[in-house]
Amino acid sequence: QVQLVESGGGVVQPGGSLRLSCAASGFTFSSYGMHWVRQAPGKGLEWVAFIRYDGSNKYYADSVKGRFTISRDNSKNTLYLQMNSLRAEDTAVYYCAKLSCSGGSCYDNWFDPWGQGTLVTVSS
Amino acid sequence: SYELTQPLSVSVALGQTARITCGGNNIGSKNVHWYQQKPGQAPVLVIYRDSNRPSGIPERFSGSNSGNTATLTISRAQAGDEADYYCQVWDSSTNWVFGGGTKLTVL
């Protein structure tokens, strides 16, 4: 079955960096766009970043643009999120999620499934 | 930027019908998706493209979308339906957007 497993979360000081990973299995990873979505404690869902199936296009929320970088290694079936210049407001559970359609521009499709999430805490 | 507005909370009596709204400018022209999130768990898709149910989601869950409002309807509400519900769309200028979420309480 389709499975997404995030890792790499932890506690980091303000201004620090962290790299999250999302290991995918059960589907042809190289055919699907992938998202990162986060959820601050007690808050709602916030979309963070998206990468096309082939890595050719990347999109970011304004709140993370210039600080976060999404990437993927299709040979390893793994999605990444490099987070730099971290701030207290980046504290959240970070989920990876698969775009439901394969191939090109179907951006208005849904997120399914989601990983279990990894917690990032930015604190001194 | 495109915004989605949801009520913070909705209450429903056991066995009755709950309706959760999602407001947005001309949202009827967009594909709306709904997710259920229970405490400590990842979100799960319950409705896609306005009114379609994924396999494994009970028929009690349905959706509609017209004008400036999309609606998730849960019929014959059960205690197990208590959760946070989020609507989501894609907008060409804002990219992917989630509503603020609605906490459903089954009384």
pLDDT > 70: percent of chain A: 99
Condensed to tens digits (0 to 9), the pLDDT of residues B39-51 reads 999 999 999 999 9
Instruction: For the beta carbon of residue A102, count every other beta carbon within 10 angstroms.
Output: 15
Q: Inspect the interface and report whether the beta carbons of B31 and A113 lie closer than 8 Å.
A: no
Q: Which residues of A touch B97 (CB under 8 A)?
A: 47
pLDDT at residue A101 in the model: 87
Condensed to tens digits (0 to 9), the pLDDT of residues B55-100 reads 999 999 999 999 999 999 999 999 999 999 999 999 999 899 999 9
- Taking CA–CA distances from A39, the nearest residue in chain B reads B42
Mean per-residue pLDDT, A45-64:
96
Mean pLDDT score across all residues of chain A? 96
Kindly tell me if the per-residue pLDDT of A103 is higher than 80.
Answer: no
Q: Is the peptide bond before A113 cis (omega within 30 degrees of 0)?
A: yes
Q: Which residues of B touch A113 (CB under 8 A)?
A: 42, 44-45
| pLDDT band at residue A56 under the 50/70/90 scheme | very high
Q: Inspect the interface and report whether the beta carbons of A95 and B30 lie closer than 8 Å.
A: no
| pLDDT band at residue B31 under the 50/70/90 scheme | very high
Condensed to tens digits (0 to 9), the pLDDT of residues B11-23 reads 999 999 999 999 9
DSSP labels for chain B?
----B--SEEEE-TTS-EEEEEE-TTGGGS--EEEEE-TTS--EEEEBTTTBPPTTS-TTEEEEEETTEEEEEESS--GGG-EEEEEEEEETTTEEEE---EEEEE-
What is the DSSP code (8-state) at residue A28? -
Terminal CA-CA length for chain A: 40
Least Cα distance to B38 among B46, B47, B29 occurs for B46
Kindly tell me if the per-residue pLDDT of A104 is higher than 80.
Answer: no
Sign of the CA dihedral with A93 first, then A99, A104, and A105 last: negative
Q: Inspect the interface and report whether the beta carbons of A110 and B48 lie closer than 8 Å.
A: yes
- CB proximity A33 to B under 8 Å: no
